[in-house]
Amino acid sequence: MDINGASAIVTGGASGIGAATARLLAAKGAKVVIADLQEDKGTALADEIGGAFCKVDVTNTDDIVNAVEMAKSMGPVRVLVNSAGIGWAQRTVGKDGQYESAANLDAFKKVIAINLIGTFDCIRIAATAMSTSEPLEYGERGAIVNIASVAAFDGQIGQASYSASKGGVVGMTLPIARDLAAVGVRVNTVAPGLIDTPIYGQGENSELFKQNLQKGVLFPQRLGFQEELASMVVECVTNSYMNAETIRVDGGIRMQPK
């Protein structure tokens, strides 16, 4: 699918994997809307790539609609990348046998609300806009790529909420792809392994932590680069025969219990 001159929305696009993807989409000629809560970083990136910034909380449908409308004003909406998400780690029960020390249910709900429900809300709103665009060759109107995680398959101790949210994203990929085939929209999911993003911090302690993490990577034994993940995302967008799949990009890692 040729995305030159089309518009693309990247949630969580102000930093990390989202930012790397936004840059690559722009390099392919897309007009990118950075949909994020980080206004300073998002605006700076939008200026850098000739796109636009829209402040978006993916748990707010009105915010999502605003981002899609902004994209429509820039060109036909052809691309959505769902990269917004949060993590949370907590054991299911505490050590003292008290109900109060069991996992924080509100935190569990928040992770699901952002990572899973927010992703679906973005899909249903953006796909609605895509469905009104002029079809390309073979009836193609657009492509959606979700960012999940290897935690969807190899969740570690304490990752119940995160793994559940990402597992949900993986689980809904096929049924949504089947559904949106009627309007010419493809849906794929990319599941990153350990990607070197700002989440790990900076400095000597951060580097030591990352060196320990990468021991479980099969080959190459390092953390992944953001650009490597973005490359796979953009391939899922532009390769018109890529549909209804979840692809691990993880150096062959299989996460251990802890």
Domains and their CATH numbers in the chain: 7-249 (3.40.50.720)
Amino acid 199: pLDDT: 72
**Is 138 noted as a catalytic residue in this protein?**
no
Catalytic member of 99, 162, 200, 241: 162
d(CA 212, CA 20): 25
Low-confidence ranges of the chain (pLDDT < 70): none
pTM: 0.97
Instruction: Quote the tokens at residue 185.
Output: 């929209």
Amino acid 203: pLDDT: 87
